[in-house]
Amino acid sequence: MPATPGTTRIGFVGLGIMGAPMALNLIEAGFSLKVYNRTDRPRVQEVIDAGGERAATPAEAASGSDVIITNVTDTPDVVDVILGENGVLQTAREGTTVIDMSTISPRITRDIAAALNEKGVHMLDAPVSGGDVGAQQGTLSIMVGGEQSVFDDSLPVFEAMGKNINRIGGNGAGQTTKACNQIAVSVANLAMAEALMLAAASDLDVGKVVDAISGGAAASWNLTNLGPRILKGDFAPGFMVRLQQKDLKLVLEAANDVKLALPGVSLAHQFFNIVERLGCADEGTQALIKAYEVQAGKEARA
């Protein structure tokens, strides 16, 4: 049965930078939410104030829910909140759907789906792209793996959070597609940093360079959204460096599984290592420029 605002009950686990605005958009769309977050932060209270019901555990969030969404940091976290003690599987009813919107291992995703299926619970892996702005505006790109019928029934839920929604294939396909996304994003970020750094090192007006190249073939999401932040020295996270590093490790693991060399991703991963060494792991991925600024001895600012 298709999910319906006002009728479908959703359990939501993980109210971080991405999860909290996604939950708020679901509430605004008319869905009833029971939410869990392992730490009590202001954004959790914001979701409660908007109408969400607080749960003490993932199992409590899942109890009585028709759909359970998880959006947590890493593969072990997803395993824990779904399959662990006090996890979703403890109380999820037969016929319910678990939608994991975290970014994790495709291989482990298939294992989790198999464990859920044994109990009669459906699973969709549905990682997202679009950053904190996309989460706030409800314009995320959502890449989905799982059965077509389960995807069709869940589409109204996805439409409350995103605009570009695609089912790619079976379980794990969503996570593999997110890996492909992270390849394109990270290597584009590397290219942007190099372009801005050459401009700065050549004593050009970096702001004018960004304006000049943004209207041609060099135009990109990174240049449009992260370029201006770099110019202002704004390194507040939309997506943290340490989370990007986690994702790139997953990309390299997936590539290793199919015996594929990805030198561009490897290079991006190494440069983000430099950024982490500079103490910037909790800054946004635009902080990649700092690895180049250290080398050049000057900053790329407007």
In this predicted structure, what is the pLDDT of residue 7? 97
Residue 125 forms beta bridges with which residues? 100, 145
In this predicted structure, what is the pLDDT of residue 288? 99
pLDDT at residue 131 tops 90: no
From 34, 163, 178, 290, active-site residue:
178
What's at 154, amino acid-wise? S
* Mean pLDDT (the chain, rounded): 97
Residues of the chain above pLDDT 70, percent = 100
Q: Which residues, including other chains, have CB under 8 Å from residue 205's CB and lie 6 or more apart?
A: 199, 302
pLDDT at residue 222 tops 90: yes
pLDDT at residue 30 tops 90: yes
CB 106 within 8 A of CB 82: no
CA dihedral (120, 13, 39, 57) positive or negative:
negative
Cα distance between residue 160 and residue 31, in whole Å: 9
DSSP codes, the chain: ----TTT-EEEEE--STTHHHHHHHHHHTT-EEEEE-SS--HHHHHHHHTTPEE-SSHHHHHTT-SEEEE--SSHHHHHHHHHSTT-GGGTPPTT-EEEE-S---HHHHHHHHHHHHHTT-EEEE--EESHHHHHHHT-EEEEEES-HHHHHHHHHHHHTTEEEEEEEESTTHHHHHHHHHHHHHHHHHHHHHHHHHHHHHTT--HHHHHHHHHTSTT--HIIIIIHHHHHHT----SSBHHHHHHHHHHHHHHHHHTT---HHHHHHHHHHHHHHHTT-TTSBGGGGHHHHHHHHTS----
* 142-182 confidence digits (pLDDT tens): 999 999 999 999 999 999 999 999 999 999 999 999 999 99
What is the mean pLDDT of the segment spanning 69-94?
98
Please compute, for residue 194, the number of CA atoms within 13 A of its CA located in the half-sphere on the CB side. 10
In the block, residue with structure tokens 């110019």 = 231
Residues of the chain above pLDDT 90, percent = 97
pLDDT at residue 238 tops 90: no
For residue 117, give both structure tokens. 């299926």
In this predicted structure, what is the pLDDT of residue 174? 99
For residue 143, give both structure tokens. 């890449």
* 247-277 confidence digits (pLDDT tens): 999 999 999 999 999 999 999 999 999 999 9
Active site residue 178: yes
In the block, residue with structure tokens 């990270």 = 186
In this predicted structure, what is the pLDDT of residue 187? 98
In this predicted structure, what is the pLDDT of residue 197? 98
In this predicted structure, what is the pLDDT of residue 175? 98
* 184-213 confidence digits (pLDDT tens): 999 999 999 999 999 999 999 999 999 999
* 40-78 confidence digits (pLDDT tens): 999 999 999 999 999 999 999 999 999 999 999 999 999
pLDDT at residue 1 tops 90: no
Domains defined for the chain, CATH in brackets: 9-171 (3.40.50.720), 177-296 (1.10.1040.10)
- Please measure the distance between the N-terminal and C-terminal CA atoms of the chain and give it in whole angstroms: 53
Distances (CA, A) of 258 to 19, 109, 184: 31, 17, 18
Cα distance between residue 62 and residue 48, in whole Å: 17
